[in-house]
Structures are given as structure tokens and as C-alpha cells.
Amino acid sequence: MSRVTELSDDERKLAELGYKQELDRSWSGFSNFAISFSIISILAGCFTTFGVGWNNGGPAAISWGWPIISLFILVIGLCMSELVSAYPTSGGIYWWASKLGGVKAGYYTGWLNLIGLLAIDASVAYGCATFLDLALSSFSDSWAAGYSLGRVFVIFIVVLVLMALVNIFSAHLLAILNNISVWWHVIGATAVVLILVFVPDNHASASSVFTHTINNTGLFGGSTSGIGFLLYILPLSAILTQYTITGYDASAHLSEETKSAANAAAKGIWQSIAYSAIGGWILLLSFLFAVQDEAGVTKAGGGVAAIFSQALGSKWGGLVLLISAVGQFFCSVACMTSTTRMLFAFSRDRAVPGAQYWSRLNKNKVPVYGVIVSAVIAVLLTLPALIEVDINGAPVPVAFFAVVSIGVVGLYVAFAIPIWYRWRLGDKFVPGSWTLGSRYKWMAPIAVAEIAVTSVVALLPTSLGGMPFTPDFEWKYVNYTPIVVFGALLLLWVAWHVRAKHFFTGPKMTIDLPPDVSSADELELEMEGRTAHQHKPES
């Protein structure tokens, strides 16, 4: 009992949830906010998925869609803030679902969350590589002349290696980098806006920014009116916002490393969403007002690089691209941190094959093998990006957008499950120090409904060539999100019924382990048919 009284408030709360303190609790509340803000990264999503909004609705879809979708996402985030305040563990989403909905709900939630995080790692790192290549091409004609998808893929692998090394080195270094990242995003985004305001000689009219529509998919004959455009094309543009403002569950995954986590992690979630929503809208409007030739942007596939080339020229455009690329690197590092902490927690509870490796911490208290396997999976997920695809004569990164959609579906469906169970529990739910009060009664259903709609949208074909059973169909145009998502769900269903339900019991308790025995140690002994508590030498 004397040992318990020596625990800090954070350690005591963690002990109540069944865990002893294994990770290094060195993060401040600002650092916790910083990692979610870095992962949301308006310098990443607003740049890399701008083409999704442009091709599926155009300027009007972006200028109106961003603030509307952002409000829905803020509601989702507020619901999650209440949950993390009650249950501040690295398992985050998975732990909440297990606590509120049972072992099976936790199993599927954890895997969806993990799949989504792995896809986000891949997409942000590939986006970073793409924009670094674009920036170098702006500064060097010879570099631009040597462009190839293979070269971008090599840069992508280099980015992944650097992400892994930073994550392996030190948790304290990560906190410092994330603090720097916040200011890079604030100052960098401000610099980009100012450049786009003052450097171009001309700007688009408010009418074109808020009323012009585009359909660059080839679907519905390219029409920008009618039921097909309103109910199919326009909803696809929501992926720009839904992808950019995601990953804020990092505040939950890092809660075991955060001081005063019950309050700090809750604020980290909703504040990172709110500030990113405001900053992102300003940034996107600066892009739209800088457009000199709508048709030229559309012909180039809707990417922001075409806008910068038109409005700024190579040197100013290169600077903007470089600011974005650095921001995306910070985002990539933070994404991998969040992924590996979730993988650590899920493995600690025996839910992942090879769990004894992914829950193993090095001397810096970092899950080093989890970092390595996350990087390898990111490479495998992004291999289709080596296939060159043109839609309507424009280069469109179909594989990149598919990885984006996988991340959106995996993460947001995982978010919806514990929010749904919390709503069903009603007033029986015991909140933490940060609570929604009675507002959960209308917020939770709205959050779940928004996630359901956008998840279906993310599964849809995004071009005429990707539409099955049509003359134009080719596999290189396919949005392979449903293949990955439904394939993963099928494998999870089989794994659950064949093996997992017989041994997986949800969150494990580690609070009673001896001080010198980690959860990874216990797992290794369990796999030998013993536990750390019961192991005795054979006589």
C-alpha cells in the first residue's frame, strides 16, 4: 500500500485503469496539443489533398466545404475529449471501446485504428517526398527534367528512414520537435498566406472562389449540376477536410507520457482541431484567391503546385513548397509516434501477432521494433504509387488518394465505435475532469452519422476509369480503399473466430507486475507457457 501512496496523480489514475507507468511521462500539456496539431498539419493535408477538393467540386466545394465539415469534426473531437479525460491511456480509442462495448468491440476498434494510423504514416510521408521533389524542381531545371515516380518513391523511403530514426532516438526529443513544429506551422502558414496575398499581380474574384464549380472526374459527363454532381461528386470533396483534420487521437495515445493527462489530453484534442480548422480555411482561401487560370489548374490535375507556378513563379513557388515539405516532415514524425504508441498499447494487451516485439521498449523507453514495422508497412501500402495514372490528360495520384481514404475510413470508424457506446451508456458513464455534461446526447449521434457518411464516400470510385463494369475501367484507376478495408475486415473476422476470441480478453492489467518486469517481459514468458508472476525454475 505504501507503494501506491507514492504515485503521482497521473500514475494513480493510470493504476486505476490497470497499468503501471512504463513510458516516460515527460510531455507537457502544450506538447500533447502540439503532436495532434502537428499530425493534423495544415501544411500537409491542405497542400497534398487540395486536388481532391478541386477535382470534385472546385473552388466553391473547398471554400464552403472546409468550414462546414470542420464543425462536424469538432463535434467528433469534443466527444473524444470527454472519453480521454475519463480513460487517459496509450490504447486510447481501443481501450475506450473495450471498456464501454466489450472485448469484441475493442478488438475491431483497435485494428481499425491501427490500420488507419499506418495508412496516415504512409500518406503523409509520401506527400512530404512529393512536395520536397516539387520544391527542388522549382529551384533546379536539371532536377525538374529528371522527374520520375521512382525518384519520388526513393525520397519517400528516405523520409521514412529519417522518421524512424527520430522516433527511435528519444521521446524527449520528440516532444521538443513537436513544440518546434507548432511554431513552424503557425509561422510557415502565415508566411505562405502573405506570399500569396502580396506577390501575385492579380487575384481571383470572390465570385469565382465561392461560386465556381468543377467536375474533373470524368463522371456524369463532367457535369457540375444535377443529382449526380450534388450527391456523388460534391461529397468526394469532403475527403480534403476529413483527411487533413485527423490524427488528433494522438493526444490520447500520448496520454501516458503527458503530465496532468486527464485535462491536458482532452484539451489537446479539441484545441488542435479548432485552431487547425481556422488556420486551414485561411490557407485554402489564399490558394483559391491566387488562382490565375482555373482551366490550367484543372488540366494539371488540381494540384497546388500549378497554382503557385501561375501566381508566383519558380522561386517564390519553390519557397512555398519547401515550407510545406518541412511541415510535412514534422507531421510525418508525429504520425509515426502516435502509431507506435497505439501499436505498443494494443500489443501490450496481446492483440497483435508478434506482440512481444512491438511492446518491447528500448533504453530510451521507445517501442523500437514497432517503429521499424510501421515504416515497412508504409512502404508496402504505397507501392501502387509507382504506377503512373492520367485522368482527363492530367496526372492524378490515384494510389496516394487511396491511401488517404484508407486512413480516413480506418481512423474515423474507430472513433465512432466508442462514441456510439458512450452515447448508449448515457448517464451511467462516469466522466473524468473534462466533460460535455448533457451535451453528449446530441453531439454523439451527430458525430457517428457524419463518420458513417464520409466513410461511405471514401470507398467510392473517384474517376470514370475506376468505375467497375464500364468500358473505360482499368485497374490503375481503381480506388483500392474498399479492397484494403473490406479485405482487412474479412481477415479480422476470420482471425477473431479462429483464434483471437479464444485468448484475447481485452486490456491486460500490468499494475501488479514487479518493478523490473515490463509488459513485454511478461508476454515473452507467457508465450513459453508461464507468466512473470508464476515462473519458477523446474526442479
Looking at residue 520, its pLDDT comes to 57
In the structure, what pLDDT confidence band is assigned to residue 29 with cuts at 50, 70 and 90? Answer: confident
- Distance in angstroms (rounded) separating the CA atoms of residues 307 and 324: 14
Instruction: Answer whether residue 75 shows pLDDT above 80.
Output: yes
The one-letter amino acid code at 275 reads: Y
Question: Measured between alpha carbons, how far is 231 from 278 in angstroms, rounded to an integer?
Answer: 26
Angle of helix 304-348 relative to helix 149-169, nearest 10 degrees?
40
Distance CA 245, CA 411 (A): 11
Is the pLDDT at 518 greater than 60? The verdict is: no
- Note the pLDDT of residue 523: 57
Determine the length of the chain.
539
Q: Angle at the Cα of 527 (from 521 to 531), degrees rounded to 5?
A: 55
Average pLDDT, integer, range 290-319: 93
pLDDT digits (tens, 9 = 90+) for 410-456: 999 999 999 999 999 999 999 989 999 999 999 999 999 999 999 99
pLDDT in the model for residue 3: 44
Among all chains, which residue has been given the C-alpha cell 464500364? 470
pLDDT, position 357: 84
Whether pTM > 0.75 for this model: the answer is yes
189 and 283 Cβ atoms separated by less than 8 Å: yes
- What is the reported pLDDT for 179? 82
E strand or H helix at 101, and its extent?
A: helix 93-101
Averaged pLDDT, 211-224: 94
Whole-number pLDDT of residue 5:
47
Kindly report, residue by residue over 174-204, the tens digit of the pLDDT: 778 878 888 999 999 999 999 999 999 999 9
Q: Which of the pair, 463 or 155, is modelled with greater confidence? A: 155
Rounded to 10°, the helix 261-289/59-86 angle is: 180
| Structural contact between residues 126 and 385, judged by C-beta atoms closer than 8 angstroms | yes
Q: What's the pLDDT band for 394 if we cut at 50, 70, 90?
A: low
pLDDT tens digits along 83-133: 999 888 877 788 899 989 999 999 999 999 899 999 999 999 999 999 999
Residue-level pLDDT at 67 = 98
Residue-level pLDDT at 200: 95
* Amino acid 202: pLDDT: 94
pLDDT one-digit tens code per residue, 335-375 = 898 898 888 888 878 888 888 888 888 777 778 899 999 99
Phi-psi region of 75 (alpha: psi -120 to 50; beta: other; left: phi over 0): alpha
- Residue 252's H or E segment, with its range, is helix 250-253
Fold of 43-531: Amino acid/polyamine transporter I (1.20.1740)
Least confident of 31-40, 209-218, 487-496, 501-510: 501-510
pLDDT of residue 524 exceeding 70, the answer is: no
Cα separation, 214 vs 453, in Å, equals: 22
Residue 531 — very low, low, confident or very high, per pLDDT cuts 50/70/90? very low
Q: CA-to-CA distance for 404 and 56, rounded, in angstroms? A: 15
| Residue 533 reports pLDDT greater than 50 | no
pLDDT at 311 over 50: yes
Can you give the pLDDT at residue 427? 92
- Pairing of the two strands 390-391 and 394-395: antiparallel
Band the pLDDT of 511: cuts 50, 70, 90: low
Give the Cα separation of 517 and 263 in Å (integer). 30
| Residues 353 and 373 sit within 8 Å (Cβ to Cβ) | no
**Cβ neighbours for 354, distance < 8 A, ≥ 6 positions apart:** 347, 373
- Secondary structure (H, E, C), 396-423: CCHHHHHHHHHHHHHHHHHHHHHHHHHH
Residue 468: is it exposed, middle or buried by C-beta count within 10 angstroms (0-12/13-18/19+)? Answer: exposed
Domain ranges of the chain: 43-531
Burial 41-50 (b: 16+ CB within 10 A, else e): bbbbbbbbbb
d(CA 89, CA 67): 31
Question: What's the rounded Cα separation, in Å, for the pair 252 and 16?
Answer: 17
User: Percentage of the chain with pLDDT > 70?
Assistant: 90
Looking at residues 450-479, what average pLDDT do you find? 90
Q: Are 25 and 175 in contact (CB under 8 A)?
A: no
Report how far apart, in Å, the C-alpha atoms of 122 and of each of 297, 387, 452 are.
26, 16, 24
**Which of 185-189, 251-255, 293-297 has the weakest average pLDDT?**
251-255
The pLDDT value given to residue 522: 57
The whole-angstrom separation of Cα 187 and Cα 366 is 30
Please provide the average confidence, as pLDDT, over all residues in the chain: 87
Sign of CA dihedral 220, 225, 231, 236: positive
Residue 159 confidence (pLDDT): 96
Given a cut of 50, is residue 537 above it in pLDDT? no
Question: Who wins on pLDDT, 309 or 172?
Answer: 309
Query: Could you please report the per-residue DSSP string of 352-388?
Result: STTHHHHT---TTS--HHHHHHHHHHHHHHHGGGGS-
pLDDT for residue 476: 85
pLDDT at 279: 96
- pLDDT at 285 (0 to 100): 98
